[in-house]
Amino acid sequence: MGDMTLANNAQIQCINKTDRSSAHDRITNVGGATPSRWKMTQTEAIAAIEGGSWQFYVSVAGSSVWVIVAVSASGNKYLKTQNDGEQPNNLLSLPECP
C-alpha cells in the first residue's frame, strides 16, 4: 500500500470560464485528460486541495506551476497558480473544456 497522505497530482488542461471580472467568479470548472478525461467545479477542486486529496498544476511555457487556493478581497476562495497576482491568468489562458 502506498502512503495515503500523499496527494494525487493532476494537470489542469482546460477550464470553463464566465464573463465575470472578479477573480473568484471567473472560473466555473477545471478539467484535464490524465489519466482519463475529468472535470470538476472550482468549488470541488478547492475542497480537494484543502482536504489534501489532490494537488493540481498547470504547465506554463514548459514548466509546471502549482495551483493554490487564494482568497479574494471579499473573502471568496478561488483557484490560481502560485506565481499569478490577484487574477488567475495562467488558468484563464487555458482552452475551454468540452
Return per-residue pLDDT of the chain as tens, 98 residues.
444 556 799 999 999 999 988 888 899 999 999 778 999 999 999 999 999 999 999 998 888 999 999 998 899 999 999 987 777 689 999 999 99
Domain extent for 50: 8-92
Any domain includes 52:
yes
Classify residue 2: in a domain, yes or no. Answer: no
- Total structural domains in the chain? 1
Do 78 and 70 contact (CB within 8 A), yes or no? yes
In a domain, 61, yes or no: yes
- Domain assignment present for residue 84? The answer is yes
Tell me, yes or no, whether 3 lies in a domain: no
Q: How far apart are CA 56 and CA 85, in angstroms?
A: 18
Is 98 a domain residue? no
Query: Quick check: is 78 in a domain?
Result: yes
Is-above-0.95 flag for pTM?
no
